[in-house]
Amino acid sequence: MILRRTLLDAARQALADGNTISLRDIARRAGVSHTAPYRHFADKEALLAAVAEEGFVKFGQCLQEAKASLENRPLQALQATGVAYVRYAIQHSTHYRVMFGQNLYRCGEYPALLDASGAAFEILVSIIEAGQVQGTIKSGEAQQLALGAWAQVHGLAMLLLDGQLAVSGLENIEAMTQQMIQSSIQGLLVSSG
Amino acid sequence: MILRRTLLDAARQALADGNTISLRDIARRAGVSHTAPYRHFADKEALLAAVAEEGFVKFGQCLQEAKASLENRPLQALQATGVAYVRYAIQHSTHYRVMFGQNLYRCGEYPALLDASGAAFEILVSIIEAGQVQGTIKSGEAQQLALGAWAQVHGLAMLLLDGQLAVSGLENIEAMTQQMIQSSIQGLLVSSG
DNA sequence: TGTACATCAGTGAACGCGCGTTCACTGATGTAC
DNA sequence: TGTACATCAGTGAACGCGCGTTCACTGATGTAC
């Protein structure tokens, strides 16, 4: 029981340290034989799913915090959550990769993981909906609009993690993110005002 | 000389077949001993860089073709290239992952790869600039606006590749992409017209 | 209170795997005189 | 034209690696009577 917790912490530690993750390394960090994890997880993938799930829970908390103080200013909330999103991805890059990159979503195994990632996404959706109710955000499928926003910050995060962009320093990255979201809210058309 | 070409083709084939890529497998496919590749590439990473570079060249051609017939309709060109972008990612998913995911951009090694990926990006930029000249796209740093568009389609592509979205079928995906870009062009604000 | 048994978390040896890379080599091709 | 040599692409054995997983096991803890 308690080892399960220890293993997950060790996994998080391993992710913080390096790029790859192996069962044996996690067991080593947990100070336990390399077969012990099989008492608590069916296989490596199941452990990764648990790690990803915990990541999404924390991730959701970050987004929620960013949104919290801006409940009735949806446009600012959108900015703040977007920045928080990218910040989380940068600061927990390897964990973030596990959350998104491990093909854990194919067969509908790991429903708890689906829930956790869905919950994080719903935070975005709820902001859009609040904006629509308030009349500051255009009407339409909130899910669809949220997906557009999600794709953009996710794409930016991935480009940054993969070193595709020549930007460094968290401050610069946050400024760039903010600018991108601002521009995205306004759209590309020449403003008619 | 000719083996180099054969190896790159074998690598492309390997990418089309499976998820992973190994030097030994490529050599096997090329019908050659597993050490032969070292005659033509310093190491595995160098081969991957060449594979990624070729991917970006083809990718750029796809985007260019999508843009070609819409030279003086930048907004449509933006849509068309966006759809072409996502289609390429879906249809060459493993290759696409190598192009973006392999940390090939850290140290400025592989300048040819940087050129190829830069050229693909410039296609987006040029569309934005054309729109600005024409007066249909708002003014501002074209690079920055293009980055916003790029991040969005890249993010969408990655979410699709990682199975994060419950959408399947190329038609549905393309429709969704189109809708997203359309919405993105207009922005999130309530239209003042 | 004491005995017999079941449960179950963790162990450590072993299996089989494919990988990237090295090294001394072979054998064909090209070049110089 | 023929000989001696250099170049260089490709070979195949070998190294060392870490991995995920299995298996029979140990030893502690809990439970039933």
Predicted local distance difference test score (pLDDT) of residue B54: 97
- From the list B170, B1, B150, the residue with the least C-alpha distance to B78 is B150
Chain C: nucleotides below 7 Å from protein CB are 8-14, 18-24
Residue A156 to residue B153, Cβ atoms within 8 A: no
A193, pLDDT greater than 60: no
B193, pLDDT greater than 60: no
Alpha helices in A69-191 (DSSP H): 74-91, 93-101, 111-134, 142-161, 170-186
Contacts 24+ apart (CB under 8 A), B43-46: B45/B102, B45/B104, B46/B110
**Per-residue confidence at B104, pLDDT binned at 50, 70, 90?**
very high
A165, pLDDT greater than 90: yes
- Amino acid identity of residue B48, one-letter, is L
Query: Which residues of chain B does A128 touch, with a Cβ-Cβ cutoff of 8 Å?
Result: 188
CA distance B125 to B135: 15
Q: Provide the Cα torsion A107, A111, A117, A120; round to 10°.
A: 150
All domains in chain A, ordered by first residue: 1-41 (1.10.10), 43-188 (1.10.357.10)
pTM given for the model: 0.95
User: Tens digit of pLDDT for each residue in A7-44?
Assistant: 999 999 999 998 789 999 999 999 999 999 999 999 99
The answer for residues whose C-beta is within 8 angstroms of residue A128's C-beta and 6 or more apart is A74, A78, A137, A142, A145, A146, A149, B188
What is the overall mean pLDDT for chain B? Answer: 95
Query: Residue at minimal CA–C1' distance from C11?
Result: A33
User: Tens digit of pLDDT for each residue in A126-135?
Assistant: 999 999 999 9
Chain B residue whose CA is closest to A192:
B192
Distance from CA of B124 to the nearest CA of A (A): 13
Predicted local distance difference test score (pLDDT) of residue A173: 98
Predicted local distance difference test score (pLDDT) of residue A192: 63
Distance from CA of A107 to the nearest CA of B (A): 10
Q: Half-sphere exposure of residue A176, counting CA atoms within 13 Å on the CB side?
A: 25
- Amino acid identity of residue B73, one-letter, is R
Q: Does A2 contact strand C, using a CB cutoff of 7 Å?
A: yes
CA of A118 to C1' of C19 (A): 37
Pick from B78, B140, B159: CB nearest A154: B159
Nucleic strand C contacts from chain B, 38-57, CB < 7 Å = 38, 43-45
Q: How much of chain B, in percent, has pLDDT values that exceed 70?
A: 98
Q: Is B110 left (phi over 0), alpha (psi -120 to 50) or beta?
A: left
A77, pLDDT greater than 70: yes
Predicted local distance difference test score (pLDDT) of residue A191: 79
The answer for residues whose C-beta is within 8 angstroms of residue B157's C-beta and 6 or more apart is A155, B85, B86, B89, B90, B96
User: Tens digit of pLDDT for each residue in B22-69?
Assistant: 999 999 999 999 999 999 999 999 999 999 999 999 999 999 999 999
- From the list A127, A138, A143, A147, the residue with the least C-alpha distance to A187 is A138
Q: Does A30 contact strand D, using a CB cutoff of 7 Å?
A: no
Distance from CA of A142 to the nearest CA of B (A): 11
Residue A159 to residue B150, Cβ atoms within 8 A: yes
Residue B137 to residue A190, Cβ atoms within 8 A: yes
